[in-house]
Chains A and B, each alone.
Chain A
Amino acid sequence: MLPRFVPATVPCRLAGTTKCFHSKVPGLLSFRDANASVNALVHIAPPERVDGRLDLRVAVKDNICTSGMPTTCSSAMLLGFTSPFDATVVELLQAEGAQLIGKTNCDEFGMGSLNTYSFHNPVINPFQAAGSTVQWTDRERRSAGGSSGGSAASVAAGLKESALATDTGGSIRLPASYCGVVGLKPSYGLVSRWGVVSYADSLDCVGVMARSVDTVKKLFDVISSYDPKDPTAAHPRARKKAVKASHASWLRAPGESLKGLRIGIPQEYFPSELDASTLKPLRRVLEYLKSRDATLIPVSLPTTPYALSAYYVISSAEASSNMARYDGVQYGYFSPTPPDLDKTKAANVYAHSRSSGFGNEVQKRILLGTYALSADAFDNYFLQAQRVRNLVRADFDRVFAVPNVLSPTRRKNKAAEEGIHVLLHPSAIRTAPPLESRDDAQESDESVLDAYVQDVLNVPASLAGLPAMSVPAGLGEDGWPVGVSIVGQWGSDELVMEVGRECERADLAVD
Chain B
Amino acid sequence: MLWLAHARKLATLPPALRHARCYSARVKDDSRWPGWDVVVGIEVHAQIKSRKKLFSDAITYSGLANVSVSPFDAAFPGTLPRLNPKCVELGVRTAVALNANVQRRSAFDRKHYFYADLPAGYQITQHYAPFATGGQLQLEINDTCVRIKQIQLEQDTGKSTFDPRNQESSIDLNRAGVGLMEIVSEPDMRSPEEAGQYVRALQALLRAVGSSDGNMEQGSLRCDVNVSVNRRGEPLGTRCEIKNLNSVKFIMVAITSEVRRQIALLENGGSVLQETRGFNEDKAETYSSRSKEDAPDYRYMPDPNLPPLLIGETYVSQIRETMPELPDATRARLLGLGLSRRDADVLMDVDSGREVKDDGVLAPGPVAYFDEVSRGRDPKVVVNWITHELLGQLAFREKAFSNNPIDAKQMGELIDLVQSGKITGTAGKTLLRHMLDNCSAEMPAELASELSLIADDGAALRKWCTQAIKALTQEADVVRGGNVNVVNKILGHVMKASKGRADAKAARAMLLKLLKGEERDRPKGEKPGDS
B78 touches A324 (CB 8 A): no
Please measure, in the bound complex, the distance between the C-alpha atom of A193 and the C-alpha atom of B114, giving whole angstroms: 25
Q: Which of B116-124, B379-387, B453-461 contacts A (4 or more CB under 8 A)?
A: B116-124
Q: Which residues of A contact B300 (CB under 8 A)?
A: 373, 378
Q: Identify which of A324, A331, A347 gathers the most chain B CB atoms within 10 Å of its CB.
A: A324
Q: Of B78, B83, B122, B297, which one neighbours A374 at CB under 8 angstroms?
A: B297
Please measure, in the bound complex, the distance between the C-alpha atom of A382 and the C-alpha atom of B109, giving whole angstroms: 14
Please measure, in the bound complex, the distance between the C-alpha atom of A320 and the C-alpha atom of B74, giving whole angstroms: 18
Please measure, in the bound complex, the distance between the C-alpha atom of A493 and the C-alpha atom of B305, giving whole angstroms: 22
Q: Which residues of A contact B112 (CB under 8 A)?
A: 321, 324, 373
Question: Within the complex, what minimum Cβ distance (angstroms) separates B385 from chain A?
Answer: 52
Knowing A84-B71, A229-B82, A321-B122 are in contact, say whether A197-B77 is a contact too (CB < 8 A). yes
Q: Of B75, B76, B110, B306, which one neighbours A84 at CB under 8 angstroms?
A: B76
Knowing A231-B81, A231-B82 are in contact, say whether A324-B307 is a contact too (CB < 8 A). no
Q: Which residues of B contact A382 (CB under 8 A)?
A: 301
Q: Of A64, A325, A373, which one neighbours B121 at CB under 8 angstroms?
A: A325
B114 touches A324 (CB 8 A): yes
Knowing A324-B112, A350-B114, A373-B299 are in contact, say whether A329-B78 is a contact too (CB < 8 A). no
Knowing A325-B119, A346-B114, A346-B115 are in contact, say whether A228-B82 is a contact too (CB < 8 A). yes
Within residues 319 to 353 of chain B, which ones have a CB less than 8 A from any CB in chain A? none
B509 interfacial contact with A, CB 8 Å: no
Knowing A318-B301, A329-B119, A329-B171 are in contact, say whether A231-B76 is a contact too (CB < 8 A). no
A200 interfacial contact with B, CB 8 Å: yes
Within residues 61 to 79 of chain B, which ones have a CB less than 8 A from any CB in chain A? 71, 74-79
Within residues 102 to 160 of chain B, which ones have a CB less than 8 A from any CB in chain A? 110, 112, 114-116, 119-122
Q: Of A323, A346, A370, which one neighbours B116 at CB under 8 angstroms?
A: A346
A78 touches B76 (CB 8 A): no
B75 touches A330 (CB 8 A): yes
Knowing A324-B112, A370-B299, A373-B299 are in contact, say whether A83-B119 is a contact too (CB < 8 A). no
Within residues 264 to 295 of chain A, which ones have a CB less than 8 A from any CB in chain B? none
Please measure, in the bound complex, the distance between the C-alpha atom of A232 and the C-alpha atom of B83, giving whole angstroms: 12
A87 interfacial contact with B, CB 8 Å: yes
Question: Within the complex, what minimum Cβ distance (angstroms) separates A70 from chain B?
Answer: 12
Question: Within the complex, what minimum Cβ distance (angstroms) separates A375 from chain B?
Answer: 5
**Nearest opposing residue in chain B for A195, CB measure:** B78
Q: Identify which of B78, B115, B299, B305 gathers the most chain A CB atoms within 10 Å of its CB.
A: B78
A73 interfacial contact with B, CB 8 Å: yes
**Nearest opposing residue in chain B for A83, CB measure:** B78
A196 interfacial contact with B, CB 8 Å: yes
B304 interfacial contact with A, CB 8 Å: yes
Please measure, in the bound complex, the distance between the C-alpha atom of A71 and the C-alpha atom of B76, giving whole angstroms: 11
Chain A residues within 8 Å of chain B by Cβ, number: 44
Q: Which residues of A contact B171 (CB under 8 A)?
A: 329
Q: Which residues of A contact B74 (CB under 8 A)?
A: 330-331
Q: Of B75, B114, B115, B304, which one neighbours A201 at CB under 8 angstroms?
A: B304
Q: Which residues of B contact A85 (CB under 8 A)?
A: 71, 78
A327 touches B114 (CB 8 A): yes
Question: Within the complex, what minimum Cβ distance (angstroms) separates A38 from chain B?
Answer: 26
**Nearest opposing residue in chain B for A64, CB measure:** B78
Q: Which residues of B contact A121 (CB under 8 A)?
A: none
Q: Of B75, B114, B301, B306, which one neighbours A231 at CB under 8 angstroms?
A: B306
Q: Which residues of B contact A482 (CB under 8 A)?
A: none
Q: Which residues of A contact B77 (CB under 8 A)?
A: 65, 71, 73, 78, 81, 83, 197-198, 325
B80 interfacial contact with A, CB 8 Å: yes
Q: Identify which of B71, B74, B171, B301 gathers the most chain A CB atoms within 10 Å of its CB.
A: B301
Q: Identify which of A78, A323, A382 gathers the most chain B CB atoms within 10 Å of its CB.
A: A382
A93 interfacial contact with B, CB 8 Å: no
Q: Which residues of A contact B71 (CB under 8 A)?
A: 83-85
B80 touches A194 (CB 8 A): yes
B299 touches A232 (CB 8 A): no
Q: Of A201, A317, A320, A375, which one neighbours B305 at CB under 8 angstroms?
A: A201
Q: Which residues of A contact B297 (CB under 8 A)?
A: 374-375
A374 touches B304 (CB 8 A): no
Q: Which residues of B contact A325 (CB under 8 A)?
A: 75, 77, 119-121
Q: Which residues of B contact A373 (CB under 8 A)?
A: 112, 299-301
A230 interfacial contact with B, CB 8 Å: yes
Q: Which residues of A contact B83 (CB under 8 A)?
A: 231
Q: Which residues of B contact A197 (CB under 8 A)?
A: 77-78
Within residues 292 to 323 of chain B, which ones have a CB less than 8 A from any CB in chain A? 297, 299-301, 304-307
A202 interfacial contact with B, CB 8 Å: yes
Chain B interface category by residue count: 20 to 34
B80 touches A317 (CB 8 A): no
Please measure, in the bound complex, the distance between the C-alpha atom of A361 and the C-alpha atom of B120, giving whole angstroms: 21
Q: Which residues of B contact A194 (CB under 8 A)?
A: 78-80
Within residues 213 to 232 of chain A, which ones have a CB less than 8 A from any CB in chain B? 228-232
Knowing A71-B77, A194-B80, A230-B80 are in contact, say whether A324-B304 is a contact too (CB < 8 A). no
Q: Of B115, B121, B304, which one neighbours A200 at CB under 8 angstroms?
A: B304
Within residues 268 to 309 of chain B, which ones have a CB less than 8 A from any CB in chain A? 297, 299-301, 304-307
Mask of B465-498 contacts with A, CB within 8 angstroms, 1/0: 0000000000000000000000000000000000
Question: Within the complex, what minimum Cβ distance (angstroms) separates A327 from chain B?
Answer: 7
Please measure, in the bound complex, the distance between the C-alpha atom of A325 and the C-alpha atom of B82, giving whole angstroms: 18
Please measure, in the bound complex, the distance between the C-alpha atom of A324 and the C-alpha atom of B112, giving whole angstroms: 8
B299 touches A327 (CB 8 A): no
Question: Within the complex, what minimum Cβ distance (angstroms) separates A77 from chain B?
Answer: 10
Please measure, in the bound complex, the distance between the C-alpha atom of A370 and the C-alpha atom of B121, giving whole angstroms: 13
Please measure, in the bound complex, the distance between the C-alpha atom of A281 and the C-alpha atom of B306, giving whole angstroms: 42
Please measure, in the bound complex, the distance between the C-alpha atom of A382 and the C-alpha atom of B71, giving whole angstroms: 29
Within residues 316 to 363 of chain A, which ones have a CB less than 8 A from any CB in chain B? 317-318, 320-321, 323-325, 327, 329-331, 346-347, 350
B76 touches A202 (CB 8 A): no
Please measure, in the bound complex, the distance between the C-alpha atom of A85 and the C-alpha atom of B76, giving whole angstroms: 10
Please measure, in the bound complex, the distance between the C-alpha atom of A263 and the C-alpha atom of B114, giving whole angstroms: 49
Please measure, in the bound complex, the distance between the C-alpha atom of A82 and the C-alpha atom of B177, giving whole angstroms: 23
Q: Which residues of B contact A375 (CB under 8 A)?
A: 297, 299
Please measure, in the bound complex, the distance between the C-alpha atom of A324 and the C-alpha atom of B111, giving whole angstroms: 11
Please measure, in the bound complex, the distance between the C-alpha atom of A221 and the C-alpha atom of B77, giving whole angstroms: 26
Mask of A359-392 contacts with B, CB within 8 angstroms, 1/0: 0000000000010011100100010000000000
Knowing A327-B121, A330-B74 are in contact, say whether A231-B80 is a contact too (CB < 8 A). yes
Please measure, in the bound complex, the distance between the C-alpha atom of A318 and the C-alpha atom of B302, giving whole angstroms: 9
A331 touches B76 (CB 8 A): yes
**Nearest opposing residue in chain B for A194, CB measure:** B80
B306 touches A330 (CB 8 A): no
Question: Within the complex, what minimum Cβ distance (angstroms) separates A214 from chain B?
Answer: 29
Q: Of B80, B110, B115, B307, which one neighbours A321 at CB under 8 angstroms?
A: B110
A71 touches B80 (CB 8 A): no
Within residues 437 to 496 of chain A, which ones have a CB less than 8 A from any CB in chain B? none
**Nearest opposing residue in chain B for A232, CB measure:** B305
**Nearest opposing residue in chain B for A81, CB measure:** B77
Q: Which residues of B contact A330 (CB under 8 A)?
A: 74-76, 119
Q: Identify which of A81, A321, A374 gathers the most chain B CB atoms within 10 Å of its CB.
A: A321
**Nearest opposing residue in chain A for B82, CB measure:** A231
Q: Of A78, A81, A229, A231, which one neighbours B307 at CB under 8 angstroms?
A: A231
A83 touches B304 (CB 8 A): no
Q: Of B75, B78, B116, B304, which one neighbours A196 at CB under 8 angstroms?
A: B78
Question: Within the complex, what minimum Cβ distance (angstroms) separates A344 from chain B?
Answer: 10
Q: Would you list 19 pairs from A and B whose C-beta atoms are within 8 A, ordered by A residue?
A: A64-B78, A65-B77, A81-B77, A194-B78, A201-B304, A231-B82, A232-B307, A317-B301, A318-B301, A321-B122, A323-B121, A325-B77, A330-B76, A330-B119, A346-B116, A370-B299, A373-B301, A374-B297, A382-B301
Task: Name B's A-contacting residues (CB within 8 A).
Answer: 71, 74-83, 110, 112, 114-116, 119-122, 171, 297, 299-301, 304-307
- List 5 additional contacts besides A197-B77, A324-B112; criterion CB under 8 Å: A65-B78, A198-B77, A230-B80, A318-B301, A321-B110
> Which 7 A-B pairs have CB atoms at the shortest separation, nearest pair first?
A324-B121, A373-B299, A202-B304, A201-B304, A325-B75, A65-B78, A197-B77
